[in-house]
Structure 1
Amino acid sequence: MKKLVWIFLFFTWSSLAIAADKILIVSTSYSKLGNTGEKTGLWLSEASHPYTILTDAGYEVDIASVKGGRIPIDPNSTKEQDNINQLFLNTPESANKLSNSLALKDVSGNDYIGVIFSGGHGSVWDFYPNTDIARIGTQMQKNNGVIAAVCHGVSALLSIKDLEKNPIIKGKEVAGFSNSEEHAIKLEKTVPFMLQDALEKQGAKYESGENFTAFVKVDGNIITGQNPQSSSLLAKEILKKLNK
């Protein structure tokens, strides 16, 4: 009997240890760039760079999307040479996670110590409002997990309340794709809302760096990056937080 108890405790501890090293990346499932007739979706480096940095550090990383299955990739995000993107696409394990992503409705935040909401313009259509994102955000907070987001993926935070039912970003220093950057690429009339304005409307202390340069804000367990160029820095800040 005593031996059975020890076996049970061993496997319970093992499963908790595995869960303690797991991080979730969440992607959009939306592929239409408004009424332009062009395609959008995930900006690839906003998933591939954090995925690579975190797995290299020894963490297990799952990839989910709003609907699950194959994740649409913004074609503009693969035009420039990016060795990390190429490795991510050419490695069977990561490529399979991109083609067969978990459906967000089937995912529990209790299984992870951190979540990253990756961007791409698609996310401003299906990250907010989103009840599954709200649920996972609540679970992460209850477990003191890291909640991170980059570029348009920061729109996910608009769906999340804190444990007192206030917007999670109220009074928090956050970054995200800026109005200036949206105007620079001439999509300010295409997107359903301007992310910077929406963040400020919920009470966030929005900050930004220069257009299309790496800029990350850390406020408690909330870590946000401004644009695709911030993806690697975001992952490094997540590692700092997890390793404290």
Structure 2
Amino acid sequence: MSLKNLNPVNKNTPKRVAIVLANPAISSTTGWPVGFWWSELTHPYYEFAEKGYEVLLFSPDGGKCSPDAMSDPNDPSGYSSTDLISQGFIHTPQLLALIENTTPVREMNVAEFDAIVVAGGQAPMFTFEGATDLHEKFRAFYEAGKVTVALCHGVALLRYVKLSNGDYLAKNKTVTGFTNAEEDFADTAVWSMNLLPRDQHVMPWRIEDELKKLGANYIQAGLWKGFAIRDGNLITGQQNFSGAETAKLVIQALGE
């Protein structure tokens, strides 16, 4: 199905994209504070800004959102130290201010946007089950034929979203998301640093396993490979290195 200029908000105005961040939470498995992942906001934001799109930030509850520590290029771990796009975003005051006061998802008017992008991070795995307003908005975007996107652990949302006919949105769809192999890698890393006992996992469940249970055709590109896949107007990205790939599919789907 071609999505070129499908349900444009206004052909004479810039495309508008809603990016949804998870609200801060405490992990029920580790006890650590969790949030969104910087590159899953900043890399899509960069791609959209280059095309002149208008981007607005939302979260299920609204208000201030907080990043996972290791996603910050300035974190002592150095894990994201090469993420220059996030570094630039963080050091641009008017952009950094965007995460201080996100709009509640319930106030989102689907008709005003061309696409929705749900970013990941660790918090979605603990908070999206109860984010029923987000479930409804995501379904509404999809059923309106608008570009409907989830990235990395943001794909956790597909465990919960059902269509108007009662079927899970993910059923019979080709999707990706954070892989079992990547979860294994994360678990092994924290075990090796003695941050968790070896019988305890970082995440309470796994996206790859659960999407397969729902009847999705789950695919992936390999450990830490940037990858995104489009099935009709549903786009999913594999993990935190897939923000640009995901955004480029959105831009392609919107016809510019």
Settle same-fold status: TM greater than 0.5: yes
Equivalent in the alignment of 1:224 = 236
Please give the secondary structure, in 2, of the residue aligned with 1:229: coil
Query: What is the distance in 2 between the residues matched to 1:51 and 1:86?
Result: 13
Query: What is the distance in 2 between the residues matched to 1:20 and 1:60?
Result: 6
Instruction: Identify the match of residue 208 of structure 2 among 180, 186, 196.
Output: 196
Query: What is the distance in 2 between the residues matched to 1:93 and 1:163?
Result: 39
Runs of 5+ in structure 1 lacking a partner? 1-14
Equivalent in the alignment of 2:43 = 49
Query: What is the distance in 1 between the residues matched to 2:131 and 2:253?
Result: 26
Q: Deviations over 1:30-71 (max 9, x none)?
A: 332334232221110001110111011011000111221111
Runs of 5+ in structure 2 lacking a partner? 1-8, 76-80, 191-199
Which amino acid letter does the alignment assign opposite residue 99 of structure 2? L
Query: What is the distance in 2 between the residues matched to 1:71 and 1:177?
Result: 21
Query: What is the distance in 2 between the residues matched to 1:141 and 1:19?
Result: 22
Cα distance 1:92–1:196, how it changes in 2: closer, same or farther (>3 A)? same
Contact 1:209 1:215 in 2 (8 A): yes
Which amino acid letter does the alignment assign opposite residue 239 of structure 2? N
TM-score under structure 1 normalisation?
0.87
Query: What is the distance in 2 between the residues matched to 1:205 and 1:20?
Result: 34
Query: What is the distance in 1 between the residues matched to 2:144 and 2:131?
Result: 21
Query: What is the distance in 2 between the residues matched to 1:195 and 1:215?
Result: 15
Contact 1:176 1:224 in 2 (8 A): yes
Paired residues, number: 230
Query: What is the distance in 2 between the residues matched to 1:228 and 1:168?
Result: 23
Map 1:16-165 to 2 at 5 A: 16=10, 21-78=15-72, 79=75, 80-165=81-166
Please give the secondary structure, in 2, of the residue aligned with 1:213: coil
Please give the secondary structure, in 1, of the residue aligned with 2:183: helix
Contact 1:133 1:159 in 2 (8 A): no
Percent identity over paired residues: 29
Query: What is the distance in 2 between the residues matched to 1:156 and 1:107?
Result: 17
Report the CA distance between 1:202 and its aligned residue: 1.2
Cα distance 1:190–1:22, how it changes in 2: closer, same or farther (>3 A)? same
Query: What is the distance in 2 between the residues matched to 1:212 and 1:128?
Result: 26
Contact 1:66 1:126 in 2 (8 A): no
Equivalent in the alignment of 2:223 = 211
Q: Deviations over 1:179-235 (max 9, x none)?
A: 111111107723221111111111110011111111111100111111111111100
Report the CA distance between 1:128 and its aligned residue: 2.5
Contact 1:22 1:111 in 2 (8 A): yes
Equivalent in the alignment of 2:4 = none
TM-score under structure 2 normalisation?
0.83
